[in-house]
A and B are shown apart, each in its own frame.
Chain A
Amino acid sequence: MKKFWCALLIFITLFLCFGLSGCSKSTVKETAQALNGTMDVTDWDIESDGIISLNGPWEFYWKQFLTSSEMLDAEPDLLVQVPSTWNEYSLDGQRLPGEGYGTYRLHVKTGLLQGKILGLRIQTFSSAYRLFVDDKLVAQNGNISSTASEEVGEYKPQAVFFSAPSNEFDIIIQVSNHQYARGGFWCPVYIGSQSQIAEFSDSILMKNMFVIGAFLIVALFYIASFFLMKENKANLFFGLLCLFAIMAYDTSGQLALSKTITGISLNTVIFIWYSSCIWVEMFVLLYMNELFESRFSRIIIKVFAVVVIALQLLYTLAPTQVYTAFGRIGNYIEDFCMFSAAIIAIMGAIKRKKNGWLNLISLIILLVTVVHDTLYYTNVIKSSHGEILYVGLFAFLLIQMLIKAISIKDYYENKNTAELKFLQAQIKPHFLYNSINTFISVSRYDPDRARELMADFSEYLRKSFDFKGTGQLVLLKDELKLTQAYLNIEQARFEERVEVSFEFPENQEVMVPSCMLQPVVENAIIHGILPKPEGGRIDIRVKDRGGALRFSVKDDGVGINPQEIPHITEKYTNGVGLANISQRLSVLYGKKLRIKSEVGKGTEVSWEIPRIARKRRKSD
């Protein structure tokens, strides 16, 4: 059955990958390529062939802002393959620095009529640009300048429109960069008819908003879940992971959200981009650690926490240009993180931890889309689907939500079973029948005693059956009555083998969690005293220490092997074991049972709870 669901999930994801991506960007014609600074697309039938990218060799003029007319006398320094940053170019045997400025030029030959309205889809140039068609300024981001002080950087993807000056024209792009460690023409530019570019731009924005919207809803859902159930930290980590993923996705992509904040500077955008990326990685690891905790994952998150804090300090304190120069190191750290997350996920899956395989599948799908897009952007593979990362992200979210749904289902099942088990444990058929058997026996020779015992028995039943949930508080007085009633019955059953001494505070009008003392006493009798043929003695003490109540149940029974103690408080057994009580204590007060024991000498179980005065109700 599990396999069936996995298969179905993979099928749906693949369907989404190819279905969704196929309908959005398949219109980009891939065959057009610029050649030596000229792109000849005279055979381009704009309506049927659709959008083309202006990738290919462009003329490049370093340290010059040239216009169309100035170009006539100038010789290009280089022919460069775009998209690429100019850090990759060499001039006179020297690599170009990231900081600087220059002009790119492409001559486009088309078979189009003069006055045809064309559109350009421009992602960003690092860090500011002006784009001309012949002499006409068509698009601009920020303010270009030859000096750092006068430059204003800006990343704002846009679609712009112009009318073709003739069937041939120059596209000239002046770029300056004094902000980022790498500069230039790093994203492709697309050209097409007005409606095609408008549609293309809309589809990019739509995909973008779709992913952001999905992540946002999921983030809010997980964070809300965390606040309702604080012990589940995985929810918090996944929620924050989604929030940071939105920031990283937006600032590294379409800036759809970021550009709505007016006056946001390029430095701020880059700061958010870099910071959110490392926090995404941190929360991926923390999330994986919550799901599949192992020694390896614990070490990895410690190491990574140090790295993240160091990087965040660097991003905060150092200027943008300095830290963006570490881009490659950042990529290695990212790879290292993803690799570690993959190992944790694989270990989880191999160890057959809950939802291990599902989780691994979601990561694999995400990884496949990331690899696909990396290869696509580096022109290793050609694809008619364009980028598919957003489909991968969506599939990842979908599967994570499925995992969440499974865990909600499990939670309710466990909760119901736990409550049922608790009730069953409280009823303790063994104890009930033995008690009744005892009353029958005693009634034959001491009817008065039998009557008293039956009164105790009903007291015990009433208090036990009153249990309404692990968080229920009762008066200490009632909790002590329950314990006393229980002990009276046990003493009737085992006679001189069970000896008891009490020490209670005078003020018993304080609230305590219900059904804690009696199960511990019962535990001491069954596992401490009764295994000894001669029986033993139990000292039950409740001390009021001002701010806290201290409970202690001490027996002189057989004792517990020291190695066994951790198991006793962690492992669930049938009955209301010590594990149950310890867990309730930790849920209610963040405390645990203390167990001191020596084999052959006895055991002392103690715990402390804050003293809560009785709530005054109107009916009181």
Chain B
Amino acid sequence: MISAVLIDDERPALRELEYLLRGTGNIDVMGMYADPQKGIEAVAQLKPQAVFLDISMPQLTGMDAASMILDQCPGTHIVFVTAYDQYAVEAFELYALDYILKPVTKERLEKTLKRL
């Protein structure tokens, strides 16, 4: 089982991702956060192996959130989940493990899990 924290400022999106991840049977979702600030704090405490992170959040962009997480817990696997692929290059420069597009499909998510 891989432990994971999900951060996205849209709650329906969190629910959907959780639904899909649980469906794979390999992921233990430790927490879901619609407030990215709270999400980062939780990651520092829970120390999950992976963080699924939305990029476009008006309060705090996913890019900044990822740097903060990697500062606190180096080695955390970051998986960006976003609706639009304009940030792909920047994301991989941050050593992101993967970059997946919403709406997420089960098949695509299984590929990501193989990398973990």
Contacts and interface: CB of A to CB of B under 8 A. Distances in A.
A437 B13 contact: yes
B35 interface: yes
Contacts of A437: 10, 12-13, 16, 83, 102-104
B10 A493 contact: yes
A531 B61 CA distance: 10
B10 A433 contact: no
A441 B12 contact: yes
Interface in A524-551: 526-527, 530-533
Interface in A428-450: 429-434, 436-438, 440-442, 444-445
State the main secondary structure of chain A at its contact with B.
helix
Given A444-B16, A533-B37, A533-B59, A433 B9 contact: no
A533 B35 CA distance: 6
A429 B85 CA distance: 10
Contacts of B19: 441, 444
A494 interface: yes
A492 interface: yes
A530 B102 contact: no
B37 A434 contact: no
A3 B16 CA distance: 59
Interface in B83-108: 83-84, 101-104
A33 B101 CA distance: 91
A438 B58 contact: no
A495 interface: yes
Contacts of B57: 530
Q: Interface residue tally of chain B, by bracket?
A: 20 to 34
Contacts of B3: none
Contacts, number: 63
B12 A492 contact: yes
Contacts of A438: 10, 12-13
Nearest to A436: B103
B60 to A, nearest CB: 9
A444 B13 CA distance: 12
Nearest to B37: A533
Q: Which of B37, B101, B102 has the most CB of A within 10 A?
A: B102
Q: Interface residue tally of chain A, by bracket?
A: 20 to 34
A442 B83 contact: no
Given A437-B12, A437-B16, A430 B83 contact: yes
A438 B15 CA distance: 9
Contacts of B13: 434, 437-438, 441, 493
Contacts of B49: none
A433 B37 contact: no
Given A437-B13, A495-B11, A430 B58 contact: no
A433 B84 contact: yes
A494 B9 contact: yes
Contact of A532 (B59, B83, B101, B102): B59
A430 B9 contact: no
Nearest to A433: B83
B49 to A, nearest CB: 24
Interface string B37-68: 11000000000000000001111000000000
A527 B35 CA distance: 16
A430 B56 CA distance: 9
A242 B102 CA distance: 60
Interface in A406-457: 429-434, 436-438, 440-442, 444-445
Contacts of B35: 533
Contacts of B104: 437
A441 B34 CA distance: 15
6 contacts: A434-B102, A438-B12, A444-B15, A494-B9, A533-B37, A533-B38
Given A429-B84, A532-B59, A533-B37, 16 more contacts: A430-B56, A433-B101, A434-B10, A434-B83, A436-B102, A436-B103, A437-B13, A437-B83, A437-B103, A437-B104, A441-B12, A441-B15, A444-B15, A493-B10, A494-B9, A530-B58
Interface of A: 429-434, 436-438, 440-442, 444-445, 492-495, 526-527, 530-533
Interface of B: 9-13, 15-16, 19, 35, 37-38, 56-59, 83-84, 101-104
